[in-house]
Chains A and B, each alone.
Chain A
Amino acid sequence: MANQYDLIVLGSGPGGYVAAIRAAQLGLKVGIVERELLGGICLNWGCIPTKALLRSAEVFNQMKHAASYGLAADNIRADIDAVVKRSRGVAKQLNQGVTHLMRKNKITVHMGNGVLKGGGQIEVTGEKGTETLSAKHVIVATGARARDLPFAKADGDRIWTYRHAMVPPAMPTKLLVIGSGAIGIEFASFYNDMGADVTVVEMMDRIVPVEDADVSAFLEKSLTKQGIKILTGAGVESITTSASGVKAKIKSKDGAAAEHDFSHVIVAVGIVPNTENIGLEALGVATERGIIAIDGYGRTNVPGVWAIGDVTPGPWLAHKASHEGVIAAEAIAQALGNTEVHPHPMDRLNIPGCTYCHPQVASVGLTEAKAKEAGHEVKVGTFPFIGNGKAIALGEAEGFIKTVFDAQTGELLGAHMIGAEVTELIQGYVVGKTLETTEAELMHTVFAHPTLSEMMHESVLAAYGRAIHI
């Protein structure tokens, strides 16, 4: 039957489309339902287009510092429209890439809004009307959207979410960013590089609060030096818009509230899972504050209904969603009788996180504080960029790499990095953690010279008092 599937994936973001491909590889008949754009937020409105924007900012930044490399560049200026156009082009290219991957893997794409109807039925309402699909298993991968502030609904004009900030109607002159997680900090960094006067307000006592405290402190100092105003322990109490801009009442750490004028506001205070109106309530799928409860393989409490990615407990990252997609697809294949696959449950302590501000931030595992909280006696090593030849040659001598080990077992508990290209470096430690490395294997590993990765070696050596170049 045409609309009869082994698996239907609801949502084609980095969780959904990867799950669909893995399931198709395992011989399942797979359909995917998407209401908007193949590839989801990640490659249309998230990870990828922001990286395109940030790359422009980075090049612009380097041009501004051309003289320090012995080069001359005059009259450099940024054309925000052209920068945005490039970013959209990148997103479009990848969107077509996903379309191709679906075709290649013989995955049927149903464009429209999908609603679970129970008994393996999914009703999809699209432009061409409503059709009913049926499947033995369903993966819910509908993702999340930006959380609104109750007093500052994003309007796309003066008050933006990440989505508006990616295609700005005008270049902000004086920008307020509310929230200093990865999204807030990346946009703060981008618009600062592009020439806006940027203020970041964070409720917690430090920016990028999920990162190691040393990284937060270093980043705050670095961003402040670049001209970004950072208010931690502060909250925005109200926002009023006018034709010329917005007025924000900000209560600072000491409790004093004052009004400030801005041209635009970006609200980046977290996300809300898209779990409404897709039939979960009627099926009795257990959720907590909208987040779907799952086991290590993505099973919900309702047999045949699975969930992955941003609709499930965090971290809310594309690569976590993709990995969960693979696990769920394999577990489903297994449930359908495939004895060749051996899915492994998600290890949530081994998911890297990357923030592409300038300098970049990357981390995996436990922070020093969290490790101690968990009862570990720790050994901590830190190595600065200034001690690395390649970093100096690149003109990027700002940053450090910190590693946290269990003093007794030598288990690598966490790694925390800030500086140039660290988002590319972190994977070395993630592989190490997956293989359950101890400090000994990392010390025995030969690191190529000259590379930034040598700092990863030195950081491990430093934890045991053996660093060479410091």
Chain B
Amino acid sequence: MPIQIKMPALSPTMEEGTLAKWLVKVGDKVSSGDIMAEIETDKATMEFEAVDEGTVVAIEVAEGTEGVKVGTVIATIAGEDEGDAAPAAAPVAAPAPAPVAAAPAPAPAPVAAPAPVAAAPAGDRVVASPLAKRIAGEKGIDLTQVKGSGPHGRIIKADLDVTAPAAAPVAAAAPAPAAAPVAPPAPVAAAAPFSTDIPHEAVKLSTMRKTIARRLTEAKATVPHYYLTVDISLDKLLKLRAELNSALAGEGVKLSVNDLLIKALGKALMLAPDANVSFAGDNLIRYSRADIAVAVSIPGGLITPIVTGADVKSVSAIQKDMADLAARAKAGKLAPHEYQGGTASLSNLGMFGIKQFEAVINPPQGMIMAVGAGEKRPYVIDDALGIATVMSATGSFDHRAIDGAEGAQLMQAFKTLVEAPLALVA
């Protein structure tokens, strides 16, 4: 049974969008939750997830097409009931009316979040709007399997749009059918209904939040991280910054410490090129330019706009780039190429007084530098105990691509550049 995939409305006001990129091709199998495409709206680029399961039989709208109206058919997938319905997927995905022994109780709706009321056991009255009942009747949706978002858990039309008229009732949440077919309840447990007596509210995840969750879980689970920390004296860099700012005041340029650190990391990566790499399966990618992704917090999540060529750019150019990127990031107006890619990342929580932390690598990058607060600390200067403004910087490295000594060389180069910062403006 072919299922038409339509251009989704990714925000309440979206009327059309650009099909930026297909992440599946004809013949690919998709299951619920798989990212099928990237769609660009006026506000942001968002990932479009499959709701149905099946095989992609046609791509109707080509990559890069602009102004695709919401509701336009963009692809067709054939339902899973056609032939080789992937036996491997069955054990986990099948909604199995008779639960396996291990399963945690007959439990309510598989998709349901904590749901105060919703999906009562069969037989009880389903609370749904007249319109929701009619649509469910016509599309053969089992309302006991739907979580209501209306008052007191009432099911409304919008709840059905999300659940969609799949042939089989909502296999949804179950992720990664590949993972060990006979696996214990563990992987399923993550998606199982969350239940608590503590007063609470279930907030639907935004696409951004889902992406962050997915990517960072992936990173921590698949990338062997190790961490190297150095203490760095900031006094010279702060002095240089003050001098540069007073010299540049006329041009309206005001450099931040972060701008200088971006430059320092860019340059350090070129001085320790073994750390400017990506692990790519059978290959190691060695970059000959340092593009620094800078973590910027925005409402509802974070994004990492990229300063390209930070090794060669002047610090004032970096400052201008960052001001522009950060402003547009906050307005949700970054183009995909402005936040995807990068050869390494910089994350700075110093403004919150964080002394030191370890950040999660953003694959396929090989490292991320986590920078803490600059603070006055006792510091040994010329064999005497003095006071210096010191910050701790911790690099997280992908051990598949960068060995300890190579990582250490980068940390050393970074420390040297920050402590003797004239090289940053040379």
Contact = CB atoms under 8 A, between A and B. Distances in A.
Interface of A: 284, 286, 296, 299, 301-303, 313, 334, 339-340, 342, 345, 348, 375, 408-411, 435-438, 440-441
B393 to A, nearest CB: 27
B422 interface: no
A409 B136 CA distance: 10
6 contacts: A301-B298, A339-B201, A375-B71, A411-B157, A437-B129, A441-B130
Contact of B299 (A301, A313, A408, A410): A301
Most chain B CB inside 10 Å of its own CB: which residue of A303, A334, A409: A409
Contacts of A408: 138
Given A375-B71, A409-B138, A411-B157, A437 B131 contact: yes
B331 interface: yes
B152 to A, nearest CB: 9
A158 to B, nearest CB: 40
Nearest to B43: A293
Contacts of B75: none
B134 A435 contact: no
A408 B134 CA distance: 10
Given A284-B330, A339-B201, A299 B131 contact: no
Interface residues of B, number: 22
B131 A436 contact: yes
B230 interface: no
Given A296-B12, A303-B299, A411 B131 contact: yes
Is chain A's interface secondary structure helix, strand, loop, or mixed overall? loop
B131 A409 contact: yes
Contacts of B299: 299, 301-303
A411 B157 CA distance: 10
Contact of B132 (A303, A345, A436): A436
A408 B135 CA distance: 9
A214 B294 CA distance: 56
Max chain B C-beta neighbours (<10 A), residue from A299, A408, A436, A438:
A436
Interface string B269-300: 00000000000000000000000000000110
B83 to A, nearest CB: 32
A441 B132 CA distance: 13
B156 interface: yes
A303 to B, nearest CB: 6
**Top 7 nearest A-B pairs by Cβ distance?**
A436-B129, A436-B131, A339-B199, A286-B331, A438-B130, A411-B131, A441-B130
Nearest to B326: A284
Given A296-B12, A408-B138, A435 B130 contact: yes
Given A284-B327, A301-B332, A436-B156, A342 B131 contact: no
B200 interface: yes
Contacts of A296: 12
A348 B332 CA distance: 22
Contacts of A313: 13
Contact of A334 (B129, B201, B330, B331): B201
B131 A410 contact: yes
Contact of A339 (B71, B131, B200): B200
Given A299-B299, A342-B151, 14 more contacts: A301-B298, A301-B299, A302-B299, A339-B199, A339-B200, A342-B201, A345-B12, A409-B131, A409-B135, A436-B156, A437-B129, A437-B130, A437-B131, A441-B130
A376 to B, nearest CB: 11
Interface in B115-129: 129
A410 B135 CA distance: 9
Interface in B184-224: 199-201
A222 B132 CA distance: 40
A334 B200 CA distance: 10
Interface in B289-332: 298-299, 327, 330-332
Nearest to B157: A436
Contacts of A375: 71
Nearest to A339: B199
Nearest to A300: B299
Contact of A438 (B12, B131, B156): B131
A115 B157 CA distance: 42
A286 B331 CA distance: 6
A438 B134 contact: yes
A411 B132 CA distance: 10
A280 B51 CA distance: 40
Nearest to B12: A296
A203 B183 CA distance: 68
Contacts of B13: 313
Contacts of B132: 436
